[in-house]
Amino acid sequence: MSSYIRNVALIGGTGSLGSHILKHLLATGKHNVTVLTRTQSKATFPTNPNLKIAKVDYSSEQSIVEALRGNDFLAITLNSQAPRTLHSEIINAAKKAGVPTVLPNYFGFGIRERAGNLASCPIMGSFSKILKEVEDVEGVDYIALVCGFWYEFSLSLGEQWYGFDLKKRTVTFYDDGTRKINTSTWDQCGRAVAALLSLPLTKEGGNAAIQDYLNNGLYIASFLVSQRDMLDSLNRVLGTTDADWKISYEPVEERHRKGLEELGSGNGLGFVKAMYARGFFASGEGDYQTGHVLDNEKLGLPKEDLDEATRRAVAMSQKSFEYEV
């Protein structure tokens, strides 16, 4: 019988994505989970016999190495404000600690040939550097979680993301608003990672195994939807009609160009505007499902309800939600 991953380290266990990975990992009851957290952190964690908290000084490689030692897998979900060098430092520490496989801090639309033209994009192409940081370290494999943009987060935060301002009831459709992209909920991402790490390391018959995904992508999604689909869902959830919304239109390539210009002038939201617009380009990289097979079924992931996810997005928009990965 093939062996399984038992000991998992997680960086970012209190963040928006990391907390969902932690929740679903612990729910399996199959893993011993070590969450690395800053020495000065006041974060609280659930009480669970399979959970260990390791206080780490991220400025000390030895501190990271000691926390990672004895683990079979490392999942990295760094805060967007983390130092740019930290990811590569963690990968090097993982090698020294003997951790064979990592889930890098990469959550995009595809890798290699399935990334399409994204590699030439000034913003989206930069994410490939994250994978290269792992590829350049001999003896460490990776599995990249390909999940698209996060649905509730992207719908709730503001116009620069999916084009919606839920409080003002406005939406900017990119082109005509009907181009579909893949998008995932945080819960689905958490379930996917937990299901992945519950697979055998090597093949047992015809079933999926960890080896199927090494140095490649794990492709999952909650929905394949357009902005028009999102507005229809919002109308069902809120009891509104299109007449209650101010709807405008903008060529998506023009929006992408404006975002890059805003970023160049020092406006950080320009990064968001350009990145999200690029996902809706007619070249189709945002739809990584059509023409391919998602890994949802192999992982046993449930089919989700779009309106329920939209309802969560509306609730998030109504409170002071601060994004932390």
Please check whether residue 51 lies inside any domain of the structure. yes
Please check whether residue 1 lies inside any domain of the structure. no
Amino acid at 157: L
Same domain, 115 and 129: yes
Residue bearing the bigger pLDDT, 303 or 135? 303
Q: How many C-beta atoms lie closer than 10 Å to residue 315's C-beta?
A: 12
Same domain, 126 and 251: no
Q: Residue 34 sits in which domain range? A: 7-148+184-219
Last residue of a domain, one of 194, 219, 244: 219
Same domain, 173 and 203: no
Last residue of a domain, one of 197, 219, 241: 219
pLDDT at 118: 60
Residue range 249-254: mean pLDDT, rounded:
97
Same domain, 71 and 215: yes
pLDDT at 1: 38
CB 18 within 8 Å of CB 25: no
Same domain, 84 and 117: yes
Helix axes 186-196, 18-28, angle to 10 degrees: 40
189 pLDDT more than 50: yes
Tens of pLDDT, residues 84-98: 889 999 999 999 999
CB 144 within 8 Å of CB 131: yes
121 pLDDT more than 70: no
Last residue of a domain, one of 219, 244, 278: 219
Confidence category of residue 114, pLDDT binned at 50, 70, 90: low
Residue range 24-44: mean pLDDT, rounded:
94
Please check whether residue 16 lies inside any domain of the structure. yes
Please check whether residue 2 lies inside any domain of the structure. no
Tens of pLDDT, residues 41-73: 888 899 999 999 999 999 999 999 999 999 999
Structural domains counted in the chain: 2
324 pLDDT more than 60: no
Same domain, 120 and 179: no
Same domain, 161 and 45: no
Confidence category of residue 130, pLDDT binned at 50, 70, 90: confident
Helix (H) or strand (E) holding 35: strand 32-38
Half-sphere exposure (CA, 13 Å, Cβ side) for 180?
Answer: 11
Taking the C-alpha atoms of residue 97 and residue 218, their distance in angstroms, rounded to an integer, is 25
Confidence category of residue 294, pLDDT binned at 50, 70, 90: very high
Same domain, 76 and 205: yes
**Beta-carbon contacts of residue 147 (< 8 Å; ≥ 6 apart):** 107, 182, 184, 188, 189, 192, 220, 221
CA-based nearest residue to 103, from 169, 208, 10: 10
Taking the C-alpha atoms of residue 92 and residue 138, their distance in angstroms, rounded to an integer, is 10
Taking the C-alpha atoms of residue 16 and residue 109, their distance in angstroms, rounded to an integer, is 19
Phi (first) and psi of residue 65, to 5 degrees: -60, -45
CB 144 within 8 Å of CB 106: yes
Same domain, 26 and 59: yes
Amino acid at 167: K
Same domain, 71 and 165: no
**Beta-carbon contacts of residue 286 (< 8 Å; ≥ 6 apart):** 109, 148, 179, 180, 181, 182, 279, 280
Taking the C-alpha atoms of residue 215 and residue 51, their distance in angstroms, rounded to an integer, is 27
The CATH number that applies at residue 196 is 3.40.50.720
Please check whether residue 295 lies inside any domain of the structure. no
Same domain, 199 and 242: no
pLDDT at 325: 31
Helix/strand/coil for 103: strand
Taking the C-alpha atoms of residue 70 and residue 68, their distance in angstroms, rounded to an integer, is 6
Taking the C-alpha atoms of residue 70 and residue 109, their distance in angstroms, rounded to an integer, is 32
**How far, in Å, are 173, 189, 311 from residue 211 at the CA level?**
41, 19, 37
Tens of pLDDT, residues 158-185: 999 999 999 999 999 999 999 999 999 9
Taking the C-alpha atoms of residue 173 and residue 252, their distance in angstroms, rounded to an integer, is 8
Same domain, 125 and 262: no
Please check whether residue 227 lies inside any domain of the structure. yes
Confidence category of residue 120, pLDDT binned at 50, 70, 90: low
For every residue of 179-192, DSSP letters joined together read --EEEE-HHHHHHH
Percent of the chain whose predicted confidence (pLDDT) is above 90 = 78
pLDDT at 122: 64
Residue range 214-222: mean pLDDT, rounded:
96
Please check whether residue 27 lies inside any domain of the structure. yes
Phi (first) and psi of residue 266, to 5 degrees: 100, 5
pLDDT at 84: 82
